[in-house]
Structure 1
Amino acid sequence: MLDLRFVPATADDVPEVLAVLDRAAARLSAAGIRQWPERFAAEAGGDRTLVSRYELAL
């Protein structure tokens, strides 16, 4: 069995998290699913808000 552990992301993790979301969005788009934007971009200060509210996890 695979053990998964989720931990809160830090501001330093935001580029990696956005890259994962970009890859997922590309796969959805390739399958014809238009659920997410083509790219997720960090907004000025927005990434820190997501991290501080624990809305990003790794």
Structure 2
Amino acid sequence: AAAAGRGAEALFLHPNVREVVFATASEMVAAGAKGMNSEAYGFIDIKVFHALDEALAYVNGG
């Protein structure tokens, strides 16, 4: 997980990544995603939605 937010190859910090959005029904995955917004993981702000339709509405501007 730390590799996603730190270092030269950090996936979530790639210039083409505008924002990271998760859609999950799992509270554990949601907690993990929110935990990425810490120093250990490079302060990656991840939007978490509990339903796919909510996530799609968000990314489509609705």
Higher RCO, Cα 8 Å, sep 6+: 1
Higher strand content, 1 or 2: 2
